[in-house]
Structure 1
């Protein structure tokens, strides 16, 4: 079930100081009209872009091919190495602007800090007024029960004109869903939780893929 804006407002008010409730800080202005079912979130001040390099391509697999092991220390070493990429983080204060040029991609964050209860999940979509000028937001970014932190936004300009972005602008919509069935109370254990800046983690190489990449796996479709 998708929560109406009125029900979202009620959940926020009921949470109060209860750390296990729904929290959005700073408190959003919610449209409680009967046909409304989302919360507008605003653009934060941190942006992360990727520098143009001489590297021919990005690969999540080159190091993983050498690492066919479940050893935790080795996995942490791979994570540290994979995270060392050509990223540039920039703080844009309120009143200043960030210009996203045609064909450019950047990571941003929401101004709001969220804490999701264990009985709710959410997804984020772009506001249509921005999308019609070519601003593309990652389709239906999922927010799991137990998430806490600022949301990372993946923004692309697929239009023909540069787009001026001001921190504090209402940039996206958050839709909240109730979760059926048991979930684990408390914070979600994830590398995406607790961040206030855009996050660029290494692409996870799961155990099954690692096994299939092993030279002696002997498996072929």
Structure 2
């Protein structure tokens, strides 16, 4: 796990050595270095939100691949300006993009978690927590209100924390299919080999 000093060094290095440093736009260096914690970087909420329209789908069947364009079929995007609120009602689930655009070098990975101060108020920030080396783009946050009262969240607020890890051993070059995106997306669920075998066995029975 990288320390605050190492994170600060890699963020600064990105300006002159993009392949070696951690790119972050907007960068906290020289502007808001309080975002850098003892071993993490605070990430802020962006302005794009995506919610599932319950009236358009009665069930999500994970045994079937969702078609391309699920965002247009089942989801609705919201763009919330700065200083305005997005309300997360109890039991509701929403995807949001981070304000920061990030670029990871091939030898640095990470994972993102919610902030405990928000979790204690019922706002859970869970993500596809691992960020692969080489990722580039905004991160998608999976937000749910597990409390009993609505919670107002505002673009620009610190909503999660990103921890960095250095890759040991041979670097593997692999591009994430979610790289390069500015808006949150549902993504496409792929049935794994074991699940496919189970489904085929059940059909034979």
Work out whether the TM-score is over 0.5.
yes
For residue 179 of structure 2, the aligned residue among 174, 187, 193 is 193
Distance of aligned partners of 1:133 and 1:81 in 2 relative to their CA distance in 1, 3 Å threshold? closer
Instruction: Report if aligned partners of 1:5, 1:30 keep a CA contact under 8 Å in 2.
Output: no
| 2:173 matches 1:174 | no
TM-score relative to the length of structure 2: 0.87
Unaligned ranges ≥5, structure 2 = none
Distance of aligned partners of 1:208 and 1:84 in 2 relative to their CA distance in 1, 3 Å threshold? farther
Question: What is the match of residue 121 of structure 2?
Answer: 133
Instruction: Report if aligned partners of 2:109, 2:132 keep a CA contact under 8 Å in 1.
Output: yes
Cα distance between partner residues in 1 of 2:191 and 2:71: 13
| 2:185 matches 1:183 | no
Cα distance between partner residues in 1 of 2:161 and 2:103: 16
Question: What is the match of residue 149 of structure 2?
Answer: 161
Q: Counterparts in 2 of 1:16-35, with a 5 A limit?
A: 16-20=15-19, 21-28=21-28, 29-31=32-34
Cα distance between partner residues in 1 of 2:152 and 2:117: 14
CA RMSD between the two structures: 2.5
In the alignment of these two chains, the number of paired residues is: 201
- CA shift, 1:79, in A, is 4.2
Distance of aligned partners of 1:165 and 1:83 in 2 relative to their CA distance in 1, 3 Å threshold? closer
Cα distance between partner residues in 1 of 2:178 and 2:4: 26
Cα distance between partner residues in 2 of 1:55 and 1:140: 23
Question: What is the match of residue 40 of structure 1?
Answer: 42
Decide which moves more: 159-168 or 16-25.
Answer: 16-25
Cα distance between partner residues in 1 of 2:154 and 2:115: 15
| 2:117 matches 1:118 | no
SS at match of 1:133: coil
| 2:74 matches 1:86 | yes
Unaligned ranges ≥5, structure 1 = 65-77
SS at match of 1:94: coil
TM-score relative to the length of structure 1: 0.81
Cα distance between partner residues in 2 of 1:112 and 1:84: 25
Compare CA radii of gyration and give the structure with the larger one.
1
- CA shift, 1:105, in A, is 0.5
Question: What is the match of residue 75 of structure 1?
Answer: none
Instruction: Report if aligned partners of 1:60, 1:202 keep a CA contact under 8 Å in 2.
Output: no
